Structure 1
Amino acid sequence: MNVTQAVKQYVSKMIESSGPGMKVLVMDKETTSIVSMVYTQSEILQKEVYLFERIDSQSRENMKHLKAICFLRPTKDNVEYLIQELRRPKYSVYFIYFSNVISKSEVKALAEADEQEVVAEVQEFYGDFIAVNPHLFSLNIVGCARGRAWDPALLSRTTQGLTSLLLALKKCPMIRYQHSSDMAKRLAESVKQIITKEYELFDFRKTEVPPLLLIVDRSDDAVTPLLNQWTYQAMVHELLGLNNNRIDLSRVPGVSKELREVVLSAESDDFYASNLYLNFGEIGTNIKNLMEDFQKKKPKGQQKLESIADMKAFVDNYPQFKKMSGTVSKHVTVVGELSRLVSERSLMEVSELEQELACQSDHSSAQQNVSRLLQNPKLNELDAARLVMLYALRYEKHSSNNLPALMKELHRKGVSESYGRMVQAVVEYGGKRVRGTDLINPNDAVAITKQFFKGLKGVENVYTQHQPLLQETLDQLIKGRLKDSQYPYLGPSTLRDRPQDIVVFVIGGATYEEAQSVYSLNRSTPGVRVVLGGTTIHNTKSFLDEVMAATTPGRGAERSQGSGRPASRR
């Protein structure tokens, strides 16, 4: 159940199947992202792929000495591009791989266009999703809902992504869905329809306990995506934005040209892989150790190169030094910028109050603390609004709810009207009327544990009390206690044993906090393997885009990576 490995194997198989010789890799916008998440350009270059092209590029030259490996989504546009390509081929031979199911009629149209007989192979390789971490995948869709219903094109794209994931992992699952969400039921039915239609593809070896697909709705827990995060990957996404493993650092004061955009990939960066889930203080200590290690290994300026052996040793070691130097400068820049933003925006204080709002039940204290922090001139619009959003969700039905007064304070602070509208939209999106489970139980006696983070200067005493609702849901599921009334099976179920292979999918987007919960659960529960996916992976800004798309009449998808159409079997 490793989604990164599944996509890597597909890409390797594509390149190896074409045999020795120089190759060009032809992709579309989405498959470019899919491949770049699991392989660096230099790794692919080592496999004799010397050129990367887009199928929709008008400026590609004829290069008959190259073999073409085409990895494309089976969309109408891509099939049309291929037909045009095969009528006037630019390369000597074509190996065509679709990331999902393609219809017989489209394969026939391609065969008819191949008059010069340049196509050596057409296959389906089911890598139609973004592999973020080994246990985490995304479809890069923000704004999948129109009100409480699917955008039809995005339901189709989500179904394709999810069925492709199941095929890549070789799972034919039982399906459970969140009963309170019509969107969850609709997606469950749509996935089931494909599994039934493509029964031959899903005819995998039966296991004693069948795998399980659990479909949930983001609106059941609108609190998690609003919280500041304190582990490395989550913090980078929240404060800097992590888009297909890339971070834009161009606004960082004094940043060097080569560090304006950096890639953070656990596949190619050992430091990042080791620190993904560590807290900010620990990362500070580890950065310090990394720098000290680099200083020890760095070639001395006056190093004597007196013999051929000396020169050879230097040349052999130089790439390693260069790579280490790049790793050090990249992470020092990223962590330095995180630290600057934490200080500039008073995020320690903000986060402490966020945790209090999410986990405690003292209304009087919460209101006073929100009101007090809104007076802080360091508080930016987003942080001010998110505190009021958390208060609005937490104390929505409280007898002394004083949201209007806090809204006035936001206005006095000069927070824009658009953020004011977002406060109401968040309650409409994820308030008590919508939720299927009791996200907030005022009777809970919450045991508060303060975790002291020490390491980087100025980073101490950060609260991390909050646990996402998904963590409790999965815990109940694994123990066999998840209520059928809240999460019914689609169709009859004989499953009574605790599930072992679980794919959980969040309509409306997952978060890195939830991904960390799944990572911890996989490590602490032998025999259970969980993979988490979502229409996207949210930070607060993208979540608010999701909320506004769902609650603003006539507003469709904010951003997606294309929709495509329902695919069928060749």
Structure 2
Amino acid sequence: MNVILAIKQYISKMIDDSGPGMKVLLMDKETTSIVSMVYAQSEILQKEVYLFERIESTGRETMKHLKCICFLRPTKENIDLLAQELRMSKYGLYYIYLSNVVSKQDEFFGDYIAVNPHLFTLNIVGCYKGIDWSPAALKRTTQGLTSALLSLKKCPMIRYQNSSEMARKLAESVRSTISKDAGLFDFRRTDVEPVLLILDRKDDAVTPMLNQWTYQAMVHELLGINNNRVSLANVPGISKDLQEVVLSAEHDEFYATNMYMNFGEIGNNIKELMDEFQKKSQSHAKVESIADMKAFIENYPQFKKMSGTVSKHVTVVGELSRLVARQELLEVSETEQELVCQGDHSASLQKIKTLLNNNKVTQLDKLRLVMLYALRYESHSNNDVAGLVETLRKQGIGEKHRACVSAILEYGGRKARGSDLFGSTDPVAFTKRFLKGLKGVENVYTQHKPLLYSILDQLMKSKLREAAYPYLGSAQLKDRPQDIIVFVIGGTTFEEAFCVHQFNKSVPGVRIVLGGTAVHNFTTFLDEVQTAGQPVSLSRADAVRR
């Protein structure tokens, strides 16, 4: 199962079906993102697509010599714009494709953003309305999730998190869509039926709040990744051509190889990349013969590509290094990890107090530490949440932002979640955690494993408790699942995507795809908590003072 390949094949078929000749690709805001995530512009140019337009743009030129391939989400607004476009046609021929189900139409199912081969998102931040769905978000999520199932050609058995009413509602909405469009889901049966597992972010509010140390996750946490694009506009001394860079595993071999490496490994690999580039550039320094010229011309495209790759990753890694040092993230992260993975309340409290009074630590990280502490020691008899919030006040963090500490308890505290997130009621889990803390781990910055890890581990061992994660309907899976689609209401993270990547590599015969309403870093997760009826989140522009 590969969501990038699924979308890519659809787009390729759309373009190929229009035959030879010059083409324009007409899209809306969301399908533009869908296409740009899986295809580089240079790749589409090779398929004779020379123009890219947005359907809502006014003042487009009439070009009757071009064929127009329309790829749109089936919204009322887009249908109205399409009708208007066809009444006053600007192009010679139109080929119309919709990203999701509209009766009596020719549908392709690409109604989601494919981020990695095993990760997709709907780019919805704010699906909660109090403790229930925002109606528009439920509808959009159902459309996106069923589109993913159709593109992967899976008609799954559905399991959901029993403690979440929102998970049950989405499960029923997806099943209703499958029943209504049964013909579309009539795929060839496999020996073991695929499983769709629907989870709620509220069961693990810790994972989106932790600083990250693998390349992709770290870039998203410190710089932000938006549809594979990273803004470097605020980097000191940045050149104009590097103010925004694209990080895509489909089109960048170095990124594909290193996206799950930890920060220490990335530094060494960047040096090797630079050494290789210097060797190649030196070999082309002298062009003295016809043979030299021919070799240079043949190798130049790759040489130019490598030059761009080197400068891009050196700049990104350099900025990450600057932020790590400037914001004392090693100390912050070590404290976070000990806080959520071990049980020494007094030691953690003392370290947090020290960091709260450290002027190098950003307000965003100070808030993060106090929110994590509030979750971890919510029911501890000697917890000092009130004292830490008062320290935040003295540090100049405003009331609406300090209120995020109580908001996270409402969102993902003991009453809101169905899991034993910290192993406090399971003696075996607590003992394992305690022993792990005593022995230490290879990397103190990556001790934490998301709740998703243990859920998937139990699911693949056929030990996932049905009381906690029931099947929708009477059918049950007797064998170990092979194809698993996990969807997280309220958003997933790159740490969880890394976890899925590890399972896909290490467990033969099992294929897992992870999806979510969003892919969060701490800043966007605060926005998610806010829309659940909580105080305004702390924006990165206000909170991170570089």
For Structure 1 versus Structure 2, the TM-score category normalised by the shorter chain is: over 0.9
Aligned residue in 2 for 1:146:
129
Partner of 1:113: none
Residue 289 of structure 1 is matched in structure 2 by 272
Hey, what does 2:459 align to over in structure 1?
A: 477
Uncovered stretches (5+) of structure 1, i.e. residues with no partner: 108-122, 453-460, 559-570
| Structure 1 residue 299 displacement after superposition | 4.5
CA displacement at 1:496 relative to structure 2 = 1.6
CA distance in 1, matches of 2:60, 2:107: 25
Instruction: State the partner residue of 1:422.
Output: 404
Q: Distance in 2 between matches of 1:362 and 1:304?
A: 65
Are residue 303 (structure 1) and residue 286 (structure 2) matched? yes
C-alpha displacement of 1:155: 0.5
Which residue of the partner structure matches residue 79 of structure 1?
79
Pair 1:497 & 2:479 matched: yes
SS at match of 2:38: coil
Amino acid at match of 2:457: D
* Matches of 1:279 and 1:173, distance apart in 2: 35
Greater alpha carbon shift after TM alignment, 410-419 vs 432-441: 410-419
Contact kept, 8 Å, 1:8 with 1:39, in 2: the verdict is yes
Amino acid at match of 1:465: Q
SS in 2 for 1:366: helix
Asked if 1:361 corresponds to 2:363, the answer is: no
Please, which moves more after superposition, 265-274 or 70-79? Answer: 70-79
The residue type equivalent to 1:99 in the other structure is S
Counterpart contact for 1:382–1:419, Cα < 8 Å: no
User: What is residue 59 of structure 1 aligned with on the other side?
Assistant: 59
1:15 partner amino acid? I
Q: Which has the higher contact order (CA 8 A, sep 6+)?
A: 1
| Cα distance in 2 for residues equivalent to 1:415 and 1:336 | 29
Q: Does 1:191 align with 2:174?
A: yes
Q: Distance in 1 between matches of 2:463 and 2:408?
A: 30
Does the 8 Å contact 2:284/2:296 carry over to 1? no
Matched, 1:320 2:302: yes
Alignment-derived partner of residue 92 in structure 2 = 92
- Return the letter of the residue paired with 2:27: M
The answer to whether the aligner puts 1:531 opposite 2:513 as a matched pair is yes
1:129-528 aligned at under 5 Å gives the runs 129-299=112-282, 303-307=286-290, 309-442=291-424, 443=427, 444-445=430-431, 446=433, 447-448=436-437, 450=440, 462-528=444-510
Question: 1:473–1:301: structure 2 CA closer, same or farther, 3 Å change rule?
Answer: closer
Measure how far apart 1:450 and its partner are: 4.7
Amino acid at match of 1:287: I
CA contact (8 A) 1:428 1:551 kept: no
**Structure 1: how far apart are the matches of 2:53 and 2:68?**
10
- SS of the aligned residue for 1:176 comes to strand
CA distance in 2, matches of 1:59, 1:260: 29
Does the 8 A contact of 1:28 with 1:54 survive in 2?
yes
Give TM-score, length-normalised by structure 1. Answer: 0.91
Quick check: 1:128 aligned with 2:127? no
| Whole-Å separation in 2 of the counterparts to 1:48 and 1:9 | 17
Cα distance, 1:415 vs structure 2: 2.0
1:366 Cα shift? 1.4
2 CA distance for matches of 1:265 and 1:546? 26
Q: Does 1:12 align with 2:1?
A: no
The aligned length equals: 530
| Paired AA for residue 403 in structure 2 | R
The answer to which of 263-272 and 441-450 deviates more is 441-450
**C-alpha distance in structure 2 between counterparts of 1:167 and 1:318, whole Å:** 42
Paired residue secondary structure (2:486):
strand
Given that 2:337 and 2:444 are in contact with CA atoms closer than 8 Å, whether structure 1 keeps it comes out as no
TM-score by length of 2: 0.95
Take 1:126 and 1:229, find their aligned partners in 2: how far apart are those partners? 33
Distance 1:301 1:207, change over 3 A: closer
Q: SS of 1:175's equivalent?
A: strand
Aligned-pair distance for 1:245?
0.3
Structure 1 CA distance for aligned equivalents of residues 261 and 506 of structure 2: 16
User: Does the CA-based 8 Å contact 1:450-1:463 persist in structure 2?
Assistant: no
Q: Secondary structure at the match of 2:64?
A: coil
Counterpart secondary structure, 2:274: helix
1:422-447 Cα shifts (integer Å, max 9, x gaps): 11111110000011111012341211
**Shift, 1:60, TM fit:** 1.1
Q: Percent identity?
A: 65
For residue 34 of structure 1, what is the aligned residue in structure 2?
A: 34
What secondary structure, in the 3-state scheme, does the structure 2 residue paired with 1:230 have? coil
Supply the distance in 1 between the matched residues of 2:302 and 2:532 (Cα, whole angstroms). Answer: 49
Q: Per the alignment, in what secondary structure is the counterpart of residue 317 of structure 1?
A: helix
| Aligned counterparts of 2:80 and 2:476: Cα–Cα separation in 1 | 45
Cα distance between partner residues in 2 of 1:287 and 1:15: 37
Task: Specify the alignment match of 2:542 in structure 1.
Answer: none
Task: State the alpha-carbon separation in 2 of the partners of residues 551 and 360 from structure 1.
Answer: 31
Residues 279-304 of structure 1: per-residue CA shift (max 9 Å, x gap): 00000000000000000000568513
- Runs of 4+ in structure 1 deviating by more than 6 angstroms, as ranges, are none
State how far apart, in whole Å, the 2-side matches of 1:103 and 1:201 are.
11
When you count helix as a share of all residues, which structure comes out higher? 2
Corresponding residue SS for 2:372: helix
1:456 equivalent in structure 2:
none
CA RMSD in angstroms, aligned pairs only: 1.5
Letter of the 1:388 partner, please give it. Answer: V
For residues 397-426 of structure 1, the C-alpha deviation after alignment (integer angstroms, 9 at most, x for no partner) is 111111111111111122222320111111
Distance 1:263 1:301 in 2: 27
One-letter amino acid matched to 2:230: I
State the secondary structure of the residue aligned to 1:66: strand
Q: Distance in 1 between matches of 2:52 and 2:193?
A: 40
How big is each residue's C-alpha offset from its partner over 1:75-131, in whole Å with a ceiling of 9 and x where there is no partner?
A: 111111111111121111111111001134xx6xxxxxxxxxxxxxxx211000000
Deviation at 1:312, TM superposition (A): 2.4
Letter in 2 for 1:100: N
CA distance in 2, matches of 1:552, 1:252: 32
Q: What residue in structure 1 maps to residue 23 of structure 2?
A: 23
**Equivalents in 2 of 1:429, 1:396: separation in Å?**
13
| Cα separation, 2, equivalents of 1:360 and 1:194 | 44
Q: Offset of 1:385 from its aligned partner?
A: 0.7
